[in-house]
Structure 1
Amino acid sequence: MKKAEKVRVGISIGDLNGIGSEIILKTFEDPRMLEFCTPVVFANTKILSFFKKHYKMSGISFQGVDDASKAIEGKFNVVNIWKENPRINFGKEDKDLAKYTLKSLAAATEALLENKIDTLVTAPINKNVIQSDEFKFPGHTDYLAQQMKGDSLMLMLCKNLRIGLLTDHVAVKDVAEKITPELIQKKVSIIHDTLKKDFRIQKPKIAILGINPHSGDNGVIGKEDEEILKPTIQKINDKGTLVYGPYSADSFFGTKNYKNFDAIIAAYHDQGLIPFKTLSFGRGVNFTAGLSGIRTSPDHGTAYEIAGKGEADFTSFKEAVFTSIEIYKCRKEYLKLTKNQLQKQSKKL
């Protein structure tokens, strides 16, 4: 029997002055990780050697390759995408270094699109520093959605807790006007499909949190829940998708009602991310649902305040790696089953 190939996990280096390099190296310093996947980091062996020396990590070695397609199983592969040896100044914002952050992300995304890697795990970026003519996005999610030409949804994961967002990196003052019946239906469709395809949940149950305090109190505190959310939820239910709500966000998590659902959709960023990080910080994973490629990341940022000190907790990054592997396997299995079902149906015709 042919030995199954390990999942090729592509990794973008993130902000070089942040903790990205540290959490990547700490994750793969354990040689057992190579039993689960083939890591492919998009950066430069010189810069990774600098980080290895800085963090005093003797138990990890690099396999330099000039293309992701040449990555070697059982090795920690580094695709050399620049020749320079940029100066690192831990914990500082540096526009000059940002070009290397973008080079890494762009090369990793291209490799994902060309099937040279199976999944992509992104180390944290500084969303302010990376802004340029080539990158005019509020974060990874929107960048990847454009590159992969798909509709994306930020889905935060931790064990059986899954929280998606109707609006993500949007100013609070603009949230209500951006939530339309069309947006709600699109986001519900994405999360419903990803629960089936990527998490093996056949009949997903999805909860939606209200836009206003107490879901508007029947129109007393804003009319959006009555006029937009409720009728749209009913319309979705009429089509056979199990969607419930809107639920008052202030009590939903405190009463542990979230445990009754396969996923929760929050109206805006902090409504979903505050309870998520309270319940799971340091172990959570950010998954970009709705795209043809699989991308995950840790649930934290560049952490400049501890960068270079060797204090970074790599648990979330490690979970992001394992999550990407599991989603890849689930999706592959789902596509195989779907293909078999279609073939059976065509034979009957």
Structure 2
Amino acid sequence: MNHKKDKPIIGISIGDINGISAEVTMKALLDTRMQKLITPVIYAHGKALTFYRKHLNLDDFNFMQIRTIHEVHHKKINVINVVDQCPEIIPGVETAESGKMALAALDQAIKDLKEENIDALVTAPLNKNNINSDEFKFVGHTEYLTEAFGSTESMMFMVSEDMRVGLVSGHVPLKEVIQEVTTEKIKKKLKIMLRSLKDDFGIDKPKIAVLGLNPHAGEDGLLGEEEAKVIQPAIREFQDEGHMIFGPYAPDGFFGMMHQKKFDGILAMYHDQGLIPFKALSFETGVNFTAGLPIIRTSPDHGTAYNIAGKNIADEGSMRAAIYLAQDIIAQKTPWEVE
């Protein structure tokens, strides 16, 4: 692939075709500005896209069927069939077949990423119920990709125009969070966040806020000791090295006073602590970026939304933002010459 002439190739794994994944993907790619910046490759099945093209009256959505990534066409939307037979499409209904296709799409995209045939991956939402089996446990895209690329540590990094929120603990039950939040783990996540803010987002001297674990950030030990014994030692270590890392902050007051606008990154201790304010403030434009991997992966910040699937009312803003963020990070890392 000649990077100096070609547009970056961004793969999109279709996720669950009975959810809103196909709808938001197709609507996002109808943006003509996007096709001038990237070459999209959708890992799915042509019949699924043809179904939604007709069902949603997306007459302007045209694509080219290719057998492998090596046939990619830079002036078209490309589609690779990841299964021989397209499953029956029933919008809003969870089926085992759509789960198998979602996994096949993800696996084929990962293969092409490993072989450096695509420059980034955008993962459309899938359903963890129908992708799992007795032999296979899928916790989430982040964990699956971390294992696939042999990384020891990664970080779920939620990104919008106004805020970037990283997590110390991800998809774990709340009762296990206390074991996950250790000084060492916080230090690992801060290293990933610092490097990502510099390398992926081009921020030379990032300013990071660290949230507390307990209500009121422990209230000087009255409501918990983790802030003093676990979180503050990690912060102090980075401060001693000259990094602009501050906290721990009480999350309710921090977001209530809109302090997120003062920082380049925010490190939350657990999933809902970071994602509830993020999604409340950035739902239609938020992106899930996996920091710390040797590849670029983004995703919209919503799920399959079975309740509105096939109704032509899904908002493609988050999917569009996910594709643009992937393109921005590629551009930050590689001197592309887009024609």
Bigger relative CO (Cα 8 Å, ≥ 6 apart): 2
Q: Which residue of 289, 292, 297 maps to 2:291?
A: 289
Q: Is the 8 A contact 2:48 2:89 kept in 1?
A: no
Match of 1:201 in 2: 203
Match of 1:51 in 2: 52
Per-residue deviation, 1:241: 2.3
Match of 2:185 in 1: 183
Q: Name the CA distance, whole Å, in 1 between partners of 2:329 and 2:136.
A: 27
Match of 1:82 in 2: 83
Q: Name the CA distance, whole Å, in 2 between partners of 1:3 and 1:139.
A: 34
Q: Is the 8 A contact 2:162 2:260 kept in 1?
A: no
Question: Are residue 249 (structure 1) and residue 259 (structure 2) matched?
Answer: no
| Stretch of structure 1 that moved more, 298-307 or 238-247 | 238-247
Match of 1:338 in 2: none
Q: Name the CA distance, whole Å, in 2 between partners of 1:208 and 1:32.
A: 37
What is the SS of the residue equivalent to 2:41?
A: strand
| Stretch of structure 1 that moved more, 77-86 or 25-34 | 25-34
CA RMSD of aligned residues (A): 1.4
Per-residue deviation, 1:73: 0.2
Do the aligned partners of residues 133 and 116 (structure 1) sit closer, same or farther apart at CA in structure 2, a change above 3 Å counting? farther
Match of 1:20 in 2: 21
2:250 maps to a residue whose letter is S
**Percent identity over paired residues:** 46
1:232 maps to a residue whose letter is A
1:246 maps to a residue whose letter is P
Match of 1:327 in 2: 329
Question: Are residue 40 (structure 1) and residue 41 (structure 2) matched?
Answer: yes
Matches within 5 A, 1:46-125: 46-125=47-126
What is the SS of the residue equivalent to 2:325?
A: helix
Per-residue deviation, 1:176: 1.2
Match of 1:142 in 2: 143
Do the aligned partners of residues 14 and 134 (structure 1) sit closer, same or farther apart at CA in structure 2, a change above 3 Å counting? farther
Tell me the TM-score normalised to structure 1 length.
0.92
Do the aligned partners of residues 88 and 287 (structure 1) sit closer, same or farther apart at CA in structure 2, a change above 3 Å counting? same
Per-residue deviation, 1:152: 1.1
Q: Is the 8 A contact 1:209 1:264 kept in 2?
A: yes
User: What is the number of equivalent residue pairs in this alignment?
Assistant: 332
Per-residue deviation, 1:235: 1.5
Q: Deviations over 1:150-183 (max 9, x none)?
A: 1210111111310000111111111111111110
Q: Name the CA distance, whole Å, in 2 between partners of 1:241 and 1:70.
A: 46
Q: Is the 8 A contact 1:152 1:289 kept in 2?
A: yes
Do the aligned partners of residues 167 and 3 (structure 1) sit closer, same or farther apart at CA in structure 2, a change above 3 Å counting? closer
Match of 1:8 in 2: 9
Q: Name the CA distance, whole Å, in 2 between partners of 1:50 and 1:134.
A: 32
Match of 1:174 in 2: 176
What is the SS of the residue equivalent to 1:128?
A: helix
Tell me the TM-score normalised to structure 2 length.
0.95
Match of 1:127 in 2: 128
What is the SS of the residue equivalent to 1:253?
A: helix
Per-residue deviation, 1:3: 6.6
Match of 2:320 in 1: 318
Per-residue deviation, 1:237: 1.7
Q: Name the CA distance, whole Å, in 2 between partners of 1:135 and 1:295.
A: 22
Q: Is the 8 A contact 1:135 1:143 kept in 2?
A: no
Q: Is the 8 A contact 2:131 2:138 kept in 1?
A: no
Per-residue deviation, 1:36: 1.2
| Stretch of structure 1 that moved more, 289-298 or 89-98 | 89-98
Match of 1:346 in 2: none
Q: Which residue of 219, 222, 225 maps to 1:223?
A: 225
Per-residue deviation, 1:134: 6.4
What is the SS of the residue equivalent to 1:273?
A: helix
Q: Which residue of 306, 309, 327 maps to 1:307?
A: 309
Match of 1:340 in 2: none
What is the SS of the residue equivalent to 1:125?
A: coil
Match of 1:261 in 2: 263
Do the aligned partners of residues 298 and 226 (structure 1) sit closer, same or farther apart at CA in structure 2, a change above 3 Å counting? same
1:289 maps to a residue whose letter is A
Q: Is the 8 A contact 1:13 1:104 kept in 2?
A: yes
Per-residue deviation, 1:310: 0.8
2:255 maps to a residue whose letter is F
Q: Name the CA distance, whole Å, in 2 between partners of 1:237 and 1:214.
A: 22
Question: Are residue 234 (structure 1) and residue 236 (structure 2) matched?
Answer: yes
Structure 1: where are the runs of 5+ without partners?
334-349
What is the SS of the residue equivalent to 2:156?
A: strand
Q: Is the 8 A contact 1:18 1:304 kept in 2?
A: yes
